[in-house]
Amino acid sequence: MKTYDSTIIGHVSKDINIDCEGNTVTMYGGAVLFSSAAAYALGHKVAAITKVADSDKDRINAFVIPQEDVCILPAQKNTSIRNQYLTPDKERRVCTCISQGDSFGIADIPQDISAKIYHFAGLIYGDFPNNLIRACAEKGDVALDVQTCLRHADAQSGNMYFEDWRSKKDLLPLVRYLKTDAAEAEIMTGAADRFEAAKILYGYGAKEILITHNTEVLAYAGDEFYTCPIRARNLSGRTGRGDTTFAAYINERLQHGMKDVLLTATALVSLKMETPGQFRGTRDDLNAYISAFYGDLRG
């Protein structure tokens, strides 16, 4: 039996990214890539479960973590998404689903691994059935990036849109860690204020809430609010912001308190956003960055 701090489940996506000036970059992305890289960089033992069609086996090589910790399952279809960014800060974009990968099921969780956290790192509604979340909640803590519950793809046009998650009140009580961005939190709660939204999401049953924003990251577990500013010097690596933050946060929470973990996760994503792609640095690099840019917040 292999044991891990977290097991991350999700599709590797072939992303076509077009910036506001019309420059196009095609790269492999997806929460499973960015999340596993961040946790691994901090020294955590992580596994990744993904699905890959025979025609796209090269997606496997995009992982930063050791190949022995990547579980590759067969698929008929892979995920591919076109992202048209409308602003230089990449906060506004139009997304089109070119194709959606096969859904994951209970049988896709290997019986020879165990994890403290089961991290649902999906991209589109339908990646995970509700019974998979229920099954993993019986094995360990569930960490859920809610994007996969809110972001839908039109079957005909591929246009992607967001709508509230119908099962939120049934399944959020099973979630230990919930990640949203500010817009997703408003969709789920109706509250534009992030602090109010966090309270509502906690009231729905999630134990610990993480809300990302372009200025800061907020954490809440029913008592005190914690926030930490993002201090990236440029946004060339903006893609993967939430995935990097969430994975760093949940894995560090296995050993440390919320305030310290939030600083670690926010500083890590600030450093990551200065370079495109997955985070490939070390904890030493992170500590140096914290000393340079977060000295006023370090305890």
> Domain extents for the chain?
2-293
Q: What is the mean pLDDT of residues 49-75?
A: 94
- Quick: pLDDT tens for 152-209: 999 899 999 999 999 999 999 999 999 999 999 999 999 999 999 999 999 999 999 9
- Quick: pLDDT tens for 5-44: 999 999 999 988 888 888 898 889 999 999 999 999 999 9
What Å distances lie between residue 254 and 62, 264, 275, CA to CA? 27, 13, 27
**CA–CA–CA angle 25, 20, 281 (5° rounding):** 50
Higher pLDDT, 270 or 238: 270
pLDDT of 282 higher than 70 = yes
What Å distances lie between residue 267 and 6, 141, 195, CA to CA? 21, 24, 21
Measure the CA–CA gap between 10 and 16, rounded to whole angstroms: 18
Find, among 89, 80, 73, 169, the residue nearest to 124 by Cα.
80
Q: Which of 93-102, 168-177, 206-215 has the lowest mean pLDDT?
A: 93-102
The CATH class given to the 2-293 domain equals alpha beta
Percent of the chain with pLDDT over 70: 100
Q: What is the mean pLDDT of residues 83-105?
A: 88
Location of structure tokens 């591919």: 80
pLDDT at residue 299 in the model: 62
pLDDT of 61 higher than 80 = yes
Banded pLDDT at 213 (limits 50, 70, 90): very high
Assess contact for 36 and 8: CB atoms under 8 A.
Answer: yes
Measure the CA–CA gap between 30 and 230, rounded to whole angstroms: 21
Banded pLDDT at 237 (limits 50, 70, 90): confident
pLDDT at residue 55 in the model: 85
What Å distances lie between residue 93 and 82, 83, 90, 211, CA to CA? 10, 6, 7, 19
E-strand stretches of the chain: 2-9, 13-18, 24-29, 46-52, 70-74, 79-85, 93-99, 113-120, 141-145, 151-153, 160-162, 177-181, 208-212, 216-220, 225-229
Q: What is the mean pLDDT of residues 47-69?
A: 94
- pTM, whole model, 2 decimals? 0.95
Assess contact for 17 and 235: CB atoms under 8 A.
Answer: no
pLDDT of 112 higher than 80 = yes
- Quick: pLDDT tens for 67-80: 999 999 999 999 99
Q: What is the mean pLDDT of residues 56-64?
A: 92
pLDDT at residue 298 in the model: 77
Per the document, the length of the chain is: 299
